[in-house]
């Protein structure tokens, strides 16, 4: 305690002396970096108490420590007493010390000052003084909005999401976590690879946890997988922070395994949970997370009647519960999950007294935790922020009142200038009136020209479609003749020329078919009741030969769904999208066509595993005559208007078309069409 008080006196002295001088603080020193790096290593090896002792003694060797040096020491001790020890008094002490230290250095250390405000909010939250905690969070947000840009402040957005998460407002938390992830992704060029991992991986994992807690298991699994992909994105980082990366992967494996267990996917769940345990069930890794993974795995075995395996894991968990080492003790949340598992296990083996005993423990501990968190959950953080905002605006108005006299003088000057300007404009009134008449006449002339241009465009389009229609018959005849001539006795060179002629004719015929579908609208389009499943199946059967040329598989799952549509045009849309999937997928790939139905619409989903769509192409992909044309994986030609025509057709049917794509992973196109009032059944 004496060392702590002396250190606080030193902080006050440095803060005051810096405030009375114009020196620029030198930032974090190299010596402090070395000390903090070793402390971080000791903490990751579960030596937190020893790390704090080393930190205090090592800092005594620093000569003229900077503000940044002192802040980082306080921050480490704040995190130690808040997270590891749960010591409310010391947590508040170090949060206050951080604010005192930065009182005169807010503009030089903006991010650190925001962290200090959040730290004080967290410390106050531990005291269950929720309104005061929200006041500090509001001050942090207000300071960040005023002083930080997006690339500096996305961590603040994440911490506001954490606050919603603590209140079990998971949907709101997802909003903040996603915004933090999007902002961090845009700013990754300004961050080190390690900082990217430290933030973005945590954001993705947090989003997955929130989705899991609201039982949106598919979305939870998706974000856990995105987190794993990010962890494998930079192999060079594994050499720098191998234990951190492995620990993070172990945590995500455990989360993903837990989701698969809830889905009833035994195989995937067992694999991922075992991977998680293999990584984190070691002293230098996250043993608490390993305990959670073991409980999930034991519950999985229990649900699938593998009682012996459940019993084996329970014995290991009971031994861990009996370990009272302060840094290895089982957290309350984990104990609750263990008691629930014990209850379910004894209920499964028909040991009713034991089952009741653990059921009672489970509910008592759960009720206790709920009572502890009830105040935070019931607190309205948004209302608190709103009240703070009103107070802030009121203070601003009071300050504005003090300068109203100056504003009055400025207003008088401006009034004189405006009056003088009006007099000048009055003298120029006649000239301006004549100019306005001239502009009006020019507008009328421009309108006539525009009308003539629109008429010319319609005539040109009609002429183009007439020419395109008339060209189809000779091109079709050319294709037929070339196919007949292939059987004739010709030289290799003649066959080569014949194949070239056939390919060019087919491509020209495809382009003409696309041109004939330009400018589709619902005004003059004939519609009928169409059984969509048969239409899609027919389109797939016609395109099987194209797929077989590349050894591809067209996999279809449909529904008997009736829509009101122009069957020829909808067939064109489906065919265009399947042809594109074939064109841009590698040899031997699978292409999935899936239909699903909601209350008002049917969704056709066409997925490939091809080359994907580059980011710079995505904004133009539905444009007519776009310059984003690309060759297929086997050199297939593309005219670049098929998707534009498909979009016109779908929108003419009052539907929608969109896509999702990952480079070298594949693309998925979605077509949504309104339903006719018919009952559907699964095929």
CATH code, 623: 3.30.565.10
Domain count, the chain: 4
Q: Are 377 and 244 members of one domain?
A: no
Residue 363, in any domain of the structure: yes
Query: 104 phi and psi, to 5 degrees?
Result: -100, 5
340-350 average pLDDT score? 89
Residue 398 is encoded by which pair of tokens? 């009071």
What does the pLDDT read at residue 683? 39
Q: Are 126 and 56 members of one domain?
A: yes
Residue 327, in any domain of the structure: no
CATH at 149: 1.25.40.10
Residue 316, in any domain of the structure: no
Compare 663 and 333 and report the one with higher pLDDT.
663
Residue 311, in any domain of the structure: no
Compare 673 and 472 and report the one with higher pLDDT.
673
Class of residue 473 by CB neighbours under 10 A (exposed 0-12, middle 13-18, buried 19+): exposed
Compare 657 and 121 and report the one with higher pLDDT.
657
Q: Are 379 and 244 members of one domain?
A: no
Compare 635 and 365 and report the one with higher pLDDT.
365
Q: Are 414 and 361 members of one domain?
A: no
Contact 564, 531 (CB under 8 A): no
Look at residue 233 and tell me whether its pLDDT is greater than 80: no
Which of 190-204, 310-324, 474-488 ranks highest by mean pLDDT?
310-324
Residue 330, in any domain of the structure: no
> Torsion angle, CA of 233/235/241/243, rounded to 10 degrees?
90
Q: Are 385 and 425 members of one domain?
A: no
H or E stretch covering 666:
strand 666-674
Q: Decide which of 254, 272, 290 is a domain's last residue.
A: 272
Residue 211: band (very low, low, confident or very high) from pLDDT cuts 50, 70, 90: very high
Class of residue 85 by CB neighbours under 10 A (exposed 0-12, middle 13-18, buried 19+): middle
Neighbours of 577 (CB within 10 A): 26
Least confident span in 140-149, 171-180, 237-246, 434-443: 237-246
Query: 554 phi and psi, to 5 degrees?
Result: -95, 110
| Residue burial 552-566, b: 16+ Cβ < 10 Å; e: rest | bebebebbbbbbebb
What does the pLDDT read at residue 337? 87
Q: Are 45 and 155 members of one domain?
A: yes
Nearest C-alpha neighbor of 144 from the set 185, 120, 112: 112
Q: Are 354 and 459 members of one domain?
A: no
Look at residue 406 and tell me whether its pLDDT is greater than 80: no
| Residue 362, domain extent | 336-401
| 470-473, Cβ contacts within 8 angstroms, sequence gap of 24 or more | 471/508, 471/512, 472/509, 472/512, 472/513
Q: Are 414 and 391 members of one domain?
A: no
Q: Are 507 and 572 members of one domain?
A: no
Which of 40-44, 456-460, 509-513, 655-659 ranks highest by mean pLDDT?
655-659
57-84 tens-digit pLDDT: 999 998 889 998 999 999 999 888 888 8
Look at residue 433 and tell me whether its pLDDT is greater than 90: no
Look at residue 680 and tell me whether its pLDDT is greater than 60: no
Residue 596: band (very low, low, confident or very high) from pLDDT cuts 50, 70, 90: very high
What does the pLDDT read at residue 327? 44
Across-strand partners of 542? none
Q: Decide which of 483, 516, 549 is a domain's last residue.
A: 516
Look at residue 469 and tell me whether its pLDDT is greater than 60: no
Q: Decide which of 474, 496, 516 is a domain's last residue.
A: 516
């Amino acid at each position: 305690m004496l060392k702590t008080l002396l250190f606080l006196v030193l902080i006050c002295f440095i803060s005051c002396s810096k405030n009375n001088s114009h020196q620029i603080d030198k930032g974090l020193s190299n010596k402090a970096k070395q000390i903090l790096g070793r402390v971080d290593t000791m903490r990751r090896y579960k030596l937190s108490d020893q790390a704090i002792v080393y930190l205090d003694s090592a800092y005594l060797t620093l000569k003229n420590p900077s503000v940044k040096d002192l802040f980082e020491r306080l921050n480490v001790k704040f995190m130690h007493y808040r997270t590891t020890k749960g010591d409310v008094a010391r947590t508040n002490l170090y949060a206050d010390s951080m604010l005192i230290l930065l009182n005169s250095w807010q503009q030089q250390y903006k991010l650190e000052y925001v962290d200090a405000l959040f730290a004080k909010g967290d410390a106050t939250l531990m005291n269950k003084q929720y309104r005061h905690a929200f006041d500090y969070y509001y001050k942090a947000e207000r300071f960040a909005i005023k002083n930080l840009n997006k690339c500096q402040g996305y961590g603040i957005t994440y911490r506001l999401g954490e606050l919603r998460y603590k209140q079990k407002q998971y949907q709101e938390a997802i909003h903040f976590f996603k915004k933090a992830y999007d902002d961090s992704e845009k700013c990754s060029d300004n961050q080190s690879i390690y900082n990217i991992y430290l933030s973005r991986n945590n954001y993705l994992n947090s989003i997955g946890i929130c989705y899991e807690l609201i039982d949106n298991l598919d979305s939870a699994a998706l974000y856990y997988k995105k987190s794993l992909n990010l962890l494998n994105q930079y192999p060079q980082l594994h050499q720098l922070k191998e234990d951190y990366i492995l620990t993070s992967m172990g945590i995500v494996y455990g989360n993903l395994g837990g989701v698969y267990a809830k889905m009833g996917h035994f195989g995937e769940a067992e694999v991922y949970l075992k991977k998680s345990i293999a990584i984190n069930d070691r002293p230098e890794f996250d043993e608490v997370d390993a305990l959670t993974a073991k409980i999930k795995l034991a519950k999985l075995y229990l649900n699938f009647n593998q009682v012996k395996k459940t019993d084996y894991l329970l014995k290991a968990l009971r031994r861990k519960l009996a370990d009272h080492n302060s840094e290895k003790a089982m957290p309350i949340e984990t104990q609750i999950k263990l008691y629930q598992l014990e209850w379910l296990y004894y209920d499964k083996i028909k040991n009713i007294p034991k089952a009741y005993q653990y059921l009672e423990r489970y509910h008592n501990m759960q009720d206790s935790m709920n009572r502890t968190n009830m105040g935070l959950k019931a607190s309205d953080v948004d209302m608190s922020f709103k009240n703070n905002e009103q107070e802030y605006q009121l203070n601003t108005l009071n300050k504005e009142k003090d300068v109203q006299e100056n504003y009055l003088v400025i207003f008088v000057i401006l009034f004189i200038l405006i009056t003088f300007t009006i007099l000048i404009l009055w003298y120029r009134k006649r000239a301006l009136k004549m100019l306005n008449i001239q502009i009006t006449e020019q507008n009328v002339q421009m309108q006539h020209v525009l009308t003539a241009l629109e008429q010319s465009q319609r005539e040109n389009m009609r002429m183009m479609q007439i020419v395109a229609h008339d060209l189809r018959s000779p091109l079709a005849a050319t294709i037929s003749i070339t196919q007949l001539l292939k059987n004739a006795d010709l030289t290799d060179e003649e066959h080569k020329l014949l194949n070239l002629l056939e390919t060019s004719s087919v491509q020209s015929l495809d382009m003409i078919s696309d041109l004939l579908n330009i400018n589709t609208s619902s005004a003059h389009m004939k519609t009928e009741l169409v059984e969509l499943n048969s239409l899609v199946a027919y389109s797939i059967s016609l395109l099987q030969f194209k797929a077989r040329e590349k050894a591809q598989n067209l996999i279809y799952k449909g529904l008997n769904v009736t829509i009101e549509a122009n069957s020829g045009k909808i067939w064109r849309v489906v065919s265009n999208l399947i042809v594109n999937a074939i064109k841009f997928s590698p040899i031997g790939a699978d292409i999935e066509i899936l239909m699903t139905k909601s209350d008002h619409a049917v969704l056709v989903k066409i997925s490939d595993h091809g080359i994907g769509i580059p980011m710079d192409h995505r904004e133009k992909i539905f444009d007519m005559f776009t310059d984003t044309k690309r060759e297929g994986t086997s050199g297939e030609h593309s005219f670049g208007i098929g998707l534009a025509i498909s979009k016109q057709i779908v929108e003419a049917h009052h539907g929608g078309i969109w896509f999702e794509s990952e480079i070298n992973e594949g693309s998925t196109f979605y077509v949504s069409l309104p339903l006719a009032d018919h009952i559907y059944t699964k095929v």
